[in-house]
């Protein structure tokens, strides 16, 4: 999985896209993606996404709740789940 670094700068009630690219070595079912915020960080939301069988990328929409206080540098984990045919 490849995700380019981003500068997190969404305004309240706006979202910021995160493009995720996957490289498959074997045929797999659709791959489900979800964001896992770091422990102790609140106010970050991201709807789960999916990379279809014939696709190699997806775009997740990251939202930061109004009045959230985030550290200057933040690492977000994206989990990918699927099964093989």
- What is the mean pLDDT for each group of 10 consecutive residues in the chain (85 residues)? 65 77 83 88 87 89 81 83 75
Could you give the dihedral angle defined by the CA atoms of residues 13, 63, 83 and 51, in that order, rounded to the nearest 10 degrees? 70
19 Cβ contact partners less than 8 Å away, ≥ 6 residues apart: 3, 4, 57, 58, 59
Q: What is the pLDDT of residue 67?
A: 77
pLDDT at position 75: 81
Secondary structure in 3-state letters for 26-75: CCECCEEEEEECCCCCCCEEECCEEECCCCCEEEEEEEECCCCCCCCCCC
- The confidence score (pLDDT) of residue 2 equals 67
Task: Tell me the whole-structure pTM to 2 decimals.
Answer: 0.75
The CA–CA distances, whole Å, from 17 to 40, 66, 73 equal 23, 17, 18
- Which residues is 45 bridged to in the sheet? 63
């Amino acid at each position: 999985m490849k995700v380019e670094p981003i500068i997190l700068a969404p305004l309240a009630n706006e979202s910021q896209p995160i493009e995720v690219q996957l490289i498959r070595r074997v045929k797999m079912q659709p791959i489900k993606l979800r964001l896992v915020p770091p422990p102790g960080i609140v106010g970050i939301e991201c709807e789960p996404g999916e990379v279809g069988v014939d696709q190699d990328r997806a775009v997740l929409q990251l939202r930061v709740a109004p009045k959230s206080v985030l550290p200057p540098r933040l690492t977000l984990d994206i989990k990918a789940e699927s099964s093989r045919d």
